[in-house]
Amino acid sequence: MARAKKGSIRASASALSKRMEGRVVSGFEELDSGSLAIRFADGAYLTIEQDENGVGVILHDEIESPERKGPRPTRRQLEYLEFIRRYMHRHGVSPAETDIQVHFMVSAPSVNQMVRTLERRGFITRDRDWSGQTVPRSIRVMWES
């Protein structure tokens, strides 16, 4: 098994599952070495490697800053992100989509589409229940302005 690089973690299954909690998978890819990489919306990735000793899993937790690499939010997306941050600071919980709808005076489908876009682009994450449905008021802002 290759040595873990700086910013990567080798841990027990329970420690690894704690570090994985709440992360949103953004994609999978097969690396040149033949190992599988599971990429997360926050920039971290998990590699699954096999060698003569068995299978190993490494969490590469060194998250790249969105300013250095990756997509940048549009002006309107930044407005939503800043509103979510301010709301969380003021109320201690993330806003419901209806709170966002009232603030921006837009339709419910518009808010839902924006929140889904922000999540897909990795600017926010939302918790999901056992069936894959999003948990209300579980938005976390990942973008640092």
DSSP string, the chain: -PPPPTTEE---HHHHHHHHTT--EEEEEE-TTS-EEEEETTS-EEEEEEETTEEEEEEE--PPPTTTSS----HHHHHHHHHHHHHHHHHSSPPPHHHHHHHHT--HHHHHHHHHHHHHTTSEE--B-TTSPBPTT--EE----
In a domain, 3, yes or no: no
* pLDDT band per the 50, 70, 90 thresholds, residue 93: very high
Residue 10: predicted pLDDT:
56
In a domain, 68, yes or no: no
pLDDT (tens digit, 9 = 90+) per residue, 12-40?
777 777 777 777 777 788 877 778 888 87
In a domain, 129, yes or no: yes
Domain containing residue 17: 8-60
Residue 11: predicted pLDDT:
61
